[in-house]
Structure 1
Amino acid sequence: MKPKADWQVLLVLSLVSLCLSIPLRDFLMEEENARRTGGNLVLGKLEEQVNKKLISLKEAEVAKARKSGYFPPSMHFFKAKGLIEQSAVFSILKRMPKGAVLHLHDYAMLSVDWLVHNATYLPDCYICFTRMGTVQFRFAKPHPPSPAPQNCSEWMLLETYRKQLHNVSEFDNSLLRNLTLVTDNPELTYLTQASIWRRFENIFVTASGLICYAPVFKAYFYQGLLELYEDNVQYVEIRALLPPVYELDGTEYNKSWSVATYQEVTRQFVKDHPDFIGAKIIFTAHRKQNINVIEKAIFKAMELRITFPDTLAGFDLVGYEDEGHSLWELKDALTIPSSRGFKLPYFFHAGETGHFERETHCVEEVLALHFWKVLLLVSDLRNHPAAELLAEGYPMVVSSDDPSVFGSKGVSYDFYEVFMGIGGMSTDLRTLKQLCLDSLKYSSLLPEEKAQAKQVWQKKWDQFIADLSNAFPKVL
């Protein structure tokens, strides 16, 4: 059958509208709202009451933004962050049980304050300074191997160096700046995507010297899970390059050791926090590497999945899309598992580019949302491509990607940007609830694990609604 012409569709809708005694415009609006993510959810009595209050707070913030000219989703995140933290809507979203975060990178999951004020104060931590004004770290005893990294000063014991300083706090603040993209003038500091990505990847080099030290590696992951837990996240999937983890004497551990450690720390965290579901690892390779190297990474992913079937969820490629191999160029490597009858799930980055013709057709069924504004991909989140997807009810998940690099933590900021900006004024509690449910639905959890996770989340959601209901007696 051929699709009906537009005039035929309008005629049918007009007849339906007449039969139901509903004005055509209202009928179309209802149809449009039903298509929106969460549009078909039926809220309970308390949820409806809470929703009215939430919408009134949202409308008040938008009205205030119109008067002041400062609307966070239309601003660079570094300038919007302080405004978001003053928001009544944001305070509610922080309390909301969010389900799963499915797109988070291992060495950027925990706010950098912990690294600077804890990891760099551990014994045997050395530092060197590069010509570019950045730093590198290494734990060693009695001292790091010589020579120091290229274009870096000689290694200095950080404890000794701090004793020579007049203002240690100022120095520690400089270390914080070395571990984030945060700046007062982002538009002037980062003029191109390429410049941002260079700085972005240098941050991971700096952080890795600290995080790859075995005692820090374990503590960092545990604290990262704790920070997510405190932001009301119940489950997480971590993308990990799995570089060598080292000890003071220079001993290095392989990828299997790292995955086993992630598994061990996760189990301990769940034991300590029984209402947390857990974590899984997505092994990654840099898409800029030689294709033969990527092939080896795929074979390693297959090996790790056999050894750790409950922890290793699958494989992804990371890095600046515009300068790396496209998925099409890697098709021979990526089809290796299926050609051998092996099931290796893929979770590809796709669409982190200004060139949307590149490979957006390969985008995974769950779109991970994060601070595209920081990467100069979208200047105003009301114009984000996801706005149309949200309006049409496509399955989506809100994630924070690299919160520490953006001077952020958890995923509440991302939910705020989606709720206030990407979703527009039509987004309400139903949309938020559907996003949380979809985060579990489209996770790599097994069916029985999903059922358990949903039960945990539902209990927390019901308590969240009850608490808000008690907090808004005048309105409810």
Structure 2
Amino acid sequence: MLVGGPSGRPAFRSLLLVVVMSSCSATSLAEERKQLVMREKMMQIGGRLVLKKEEELANEKLMALKKAEMKQAMKTQQFPPSMHFFQAKNLIEKSEVFNILKKMPKGAALHVHDFGILSMDWLVSNVTYRPHCHFCLTRNGVLMFKFGHPTPPTPPECLEWILLEKYRQKLQNVTEFDSSLLRNFTLMTKDPEVTYANQDIVWSKFEAIFFTISGLVHYAPVFRDYIFQGLEEFYQDNVFYLELRAMLFPVYELNGTVHSQEWAVRTYTEVACMFRKKHPGFIGIKLIYSDRRFQNVSVITKSVQRAMMLQTKFPRMVAGFDLVGREDTGHCLYYYKEALMIPALQGFKLPYFFHAGETDWQGTSIDRNLLDALILNSTRVGHGFALTKHPAVWIDSWKKDIPIEVCPISNQVLKLVSDLRDHPAAVLMATGYPMVISSDDPAVFGAKGLSYDFYEAFMGIGGMAADLRALKQLAMNSIKYSVLLDIEKKAAMKIWEEKWNDFVADLARRPS
């Protein structure tokens, strides 16, 4: 029967209705999809920022490069954020996106440790060549250093001090010796998965590094130079303000004189002031006094009291207190509750910046550090790696506007996550949770400044959704969530905006 015949009209009308309905459904499906995509875009970090015309042009240039790198990575199956940083570093340094990020004004580094900020090459090539530098090998096979004249007293763990200058004179291959020193100062290795089969091994080496370099960096002349050079390295990476976790270990002179913690804080202040005079646009530094989380309650009680004293004495330099070290093997925050409640009970405002949630062990007492960090009103949370596993903490922290300090490379190297596309911060970035990007101990990981961590966050954690808006928001967050006074934040934001506008203009002019 023909559809055009009298008896075929109902069939034709039905067919026409189906065509119209399918067309409506397709239109409505496309519209619904578009709206859903837009909603997700608005939710992600930086999603509500409105870019200026020049920023839009710069964003097009940046995203074209990002898409090209992503496309190439999908073809070769070599994507730096999915690889261990030690194996990806050379690839990252060849990336055009990375070279743009190096030029980007990143604002502030809010989660870095005092003696992990300067490339270890400097310690080898500069510090170990200074006069009166001695070394020894401990009974456990760990290197120790000490400056002294005459030869310093030999500690129990050392067999004997050897003057480095004389030792090098006897060597046939000094370059190889210096390379071996560098291997003792960083975690870098060609085959990290084999060298560091588990977290215990990598943390053991990580902690040994700080033990090894302590005798170098706590020598007073080196201490001053290290701070200056560390600031220089971050400044060259377009970072103009730092908040350092500092344990303020004793600093010593050549004759054995040991300085107080107050002396150390004053020295930080003096060096930062000198650096600021020589580097226009540099804002400065602040210290977050820290102690190790394996200490007993009485020790931490004294540390909290010392933090209160230091903050009272140096209100413009000492920002607050933190507990540092490996979370999985240290005491939980709740263990220290009596000590940590002292400031509040005395009506003293001591800001906390707790490392919390730097663990894969869900539901343990250590994992619950996130709960206690929230209850104790931590100003920021260091790492916060486990936050997405704690929905109530997540919601309440968001309400209180408590940001997390995300350190991508640190989390990967210390074996919390292998592929940075799987980092929990991907969920947090997608939902617009407040965060800053930092680098923890870049020198120990073979990185510099913040650019490597920004690359990992931008390319891996943020995925294809992260664009110039995300980068802009992360940089602004670093100022917003710093402990600078409001008037200082306004000044810092003005400096950053000028640098940002120059960066955007250069990027927009870049040939396609």
Give TM class, smaller chain.
Answer: over 0.9
* TM-score normalised by structure 1 residue count: 0.93
Query: Could you tell me how far 1:149 is from its partner in structure 2?
Result: 4.3
| Secondary structure of the corresponding residue to residue 323 of structure 2 | strand
* Structure 2: stretches of 5+ with no match in the other structure: 1-24, 375-380, 382-401
2-side partners of 1:166 and 1:280: how far apart?
45
Paired with 2:91 and 2:50, the residues of 1 have a C-alpha distance of 32
- Matched residues in 1 for 2:292 and 2:142: separation? 22
The match for 2:107 is 99
- Structure 1 residue matching 2:412: 3-state secondary structure: coil
Match of 1:366 among 403, 407, 427: 403
Amino acid at match of 2:73: A
- Out of 121, 144, 166, the position equivalent to 2:129 is 121
Q: Which residue of 1 aligns with 2:283?
A: 277
CA distance in 1, matches of 2:28, 2:476: 33
The equivalent of 2:470 in structure 1 is 431
| Aligned: 1:162 with 2:168 | yes
Deviations for 1:180-230, whole angstroms, at most 9, x for unmatched residues?
Answer: 011111111112212211111110011111000000000000000000000
Match of 1:52 among 40, 56, 60: 60
How far apart, CA to CA, are the structure 2 residues paired with 1:449 and 1:399?
Answer: 21
* Partner in structure 1 of residue 314 of structure 2: 308
Which residue in the other structure is 1:347 paired with? 353
Q: Deviations over 1:386-428 (max 9, x none)?
A: 0000000011100000001101110100000000000011000
Deviation (angstroms), 1:133: 4.0
What's 1:460 paired with?
499
Q: Is the 8 A contact 2:55 2:504 kept in 1?
A: yes
Distance in structure 2 (CA, Å) of the matches to 1:327 and 1:81: 35
Range with bigger deviation, 35-44 or 61-70: 61-70
User: Which residue number in structure 2 is paired with residue 289 of structure 1?
Assistant: 295
Instruction: For 1:57-456, list aligned pairs within 5 A.
Output: 57-146=65-154, 148-150=155-157, 152-357=158-363, 358=367, 359-361=369-371, 362=373, 364=381, 365-370=402-407, 371=409, 372-456=411-495
SS across alignment from 1:37: coil
Per-residue deviation, 1:18:
12
The CA distance in 2 between the partners of 1:267 and 1:20, in whole Å, is 62
Partners of 1:433 and 1:366 in 2: CA distance: 16
Give the aligned length. 455
Deviation at 1:274, TM superposition (A): 2.4
Q: Give, in angstroms, the shift of residue 22 of structure 1.
A: 7.3
Q: How far 1:295 sits from its partner (Å)? A: 0.6
What is the CA-CA distance between 1:291 and the residue it aligns to? 1.1
Query: For the Cα contact (< 8 Å) 2:61–2:508, is it kept in 1?
Result: no
Change (3 A) 1:149 1:471: farther
Residue type of the alignment partner of 1:427: A
Equivalent residue letter for 1:128: C
Note the C-alpha offset of 1:254.
1.2
Query: What is the one-letter code of the residue matched to 2:321?
Result: F
> TM-score under structure 2 normalisation?
0.87
What one-letter code is carried by the residue in structure 2 that aligns with 1:360?
L
Once residues 464 and 509 of structure 2 are traced to their aligned partners in structure 1, the CA distance between those partners, rounded to angstroms, is 25
Q: Of the candidates 7, 28, 35, which is equivalent to residue 43 of structure 2?
A: 35
Distance 2:327 2:508 in 1: 45
Distance 1:439 1:20 in 2: 41
**How big is the shift at 1:130?**
3.0
Q: In structure 2, how many angstroms separate the alpha carbons of the residues matched to 1:20 and 1:91?
A: 42
Residue identity in the other structure for 2:328: D
> Could you report, residue by residue, the CA deviation over 1:319-378 in whole angstroms, capped at 9, with x for unpaired residues?
011111111111111010010000000000011111143123336222222221101100
Distance 1:21 1:71 in 2: 33
Q: What residue is the counterpart of 2:388 in the other structure?
A: none
CA deviation after TM superposition for structure 1 residue 446, in Å: 0.5
Alpha-carbon deviation of 1:154?
1.0
Task: Give the stretch that moved more between structures: 347-356 or 76-85.
Answer: 347-356
Aligned partners of 1:397 and 1:407: how far apart in 2?
21
Amino acid at match of 2:456: E
Identical-pair percentage: 56
Secondary structure of 2:361's counterpart equals coil
Distance (whole Å) between structure 2 residues aligned to residue 271 and residue 217 of structure 1:
19
Q: Distance in 2 between matches of 1:18 and 1:459?
A: 47
Give me the whole-angstrom Cα distance separating, in 1, the residues matched to 2:191 and 2:106: 32
1: CA distance between counterparts of 2:467 and 2:479? 20
Q: Distance in 1 between matches of 2:446 and 2:294?
A: 26
Paired amino acid for 1:290: N
Q: Residue deviations 1:295-338, cap 9 Å, x none?
A: 10000000000010000010000001111111111111101001
Query: What code does the residue aligned with 2:70 have?
Result: V
Q: Cα offset for 1:131? A: 4.5
Superposition CA RMSD, Å: 1.6
- AA of the residue aligned to 1:453: A
Q: 1:19–1:64: structure 2 CA closer, same or farther, 3 Å change rule?
A: closer
Q: Which runs of 5+ in 1 are unaligned?
A: 1-16
Per-residue CA deviations over 1:52-84 (Å, capped at 9, x if unaligned) read 111111111111111111111111110011110
Q: Distance in 2 between the 1:407 and 1:21 partners? A: 49
Deviation readout 1:412-449 (Å, 9 max, x if unpaired) = 00000000000011000000000000000000100000
**1:156–1:252 distance in 2 versus 1, CA, 3 Å:** same
Q: Could you tell me which amino acid in structure 2 is paired with residue 257 of structure 1? A: W
Rounded to whole Å, the distance in 2 between the matches of 1:91 and 1:19 is 42
Q: How many Å separate the matches in 1 of 2:198 and 2:236? A: 35
Partners of 2:26 and 2:197 in 1: CA distance:
56
